[in-house]
Amino acid sequence: MLTIEHVVTISCFETPCARKFLENNVRDFNPADEKRFVLQMLEQNVYHFLSCLKTLNLRRNRIEKELMHSSRNSDLKQLLAIEKSLVYFVNSLNANELLKMKMKRTDFLHINGDEDMTELFEDIIIDNSQALSMANVYTNILNGTMDAYSSIISNNLNQVIHRLTIVTVVLMVPTLISSFFGMNIPNGIPGTPWAFYATIVAADLLQGLYWVMKRRRCCEILMKHISTN
């Protein structure tokens, strides 16, 4: 709010942009020039958005490198938190851009006759648009990354289930043969001390037949794929 002697800003929290002015870290800051002060406040706001976006992008790259070695729930939760932050950034920057365009269209600060002020305001609008584009790009990259990791996790789960299925089939064949001999023939095979070894050989032959048929089927599928291509 602009008054004759004061510029009033209202915020629920302490903003780092206002702290820069209080610490005199803004170049060419003059409290008496309220129009330039408002533009500089908007400029520092955009710079703070750009700084936070770069920080979030660095965190995203670091977490992605860690996920290349191990998929931990804590890293995935951090990516979800970054994605949530980027959504808020996009909404805020979009609202700020609409506000700045309205200020320019209505000449809220009455700076149309001042070339330096007008040029500064246009640069601020451009910087805000660049920050909005960066936020959208980072959001799209993160969404693609999350989808890719979901596919990788599903693929790893399918591979684990496939291995467990193979182990189950391999263990089932000897168990089936030994159970058949144990339950259907009284006292096993009387007078045949080699019955145990015969059971093992039969189980091995069935397993070998299974692997040969499976390998042959895989070779047929591969040759069919090569011939079609």
**pLDDT tens across 120-166, in order?**
899 999 999 999 999 999 999 888 888 888 787 788 788 888 778 77
Radius of gyration of the chain (CA): 35
Looking at residue 6, what is its pLDDT?
Answer: 80
Catalogue the long-range contacts made by 184-189 (C-beta closer than 8 Å, 24 or more residues apart). Answer: none
The gap from C-alpha 229 to its chain's centroid, in whole angstroms, comes to: 36
- Tell me the backbone φ, ψ of residue 189, rounded to 5 degrees: -120, 100
Q: Are residues 149 and 216 in the same domain?
A: no
How many domains does the structure of the chain reveal?
2
Residue 4 lies in a domain: no
pLDDT tens, position by position, 3-18: 777 888 888 888 888 7
CA distance 21 to 30: 10
pLDDT tens, position by position, 67-110: 777 667 787 888 889 989 999 999 999 999 999 999 888 888 88
User: Which of 127, 156, 185 is the last residue in one of the domains?
Assistant: 156
Q: Are residues 85 and 120 in the same domain?
A: yes
Look up the domain containing 185 and give its range.
Answer: 162-228
Q: Are residues 148 and 167 in the same domain?
A: no
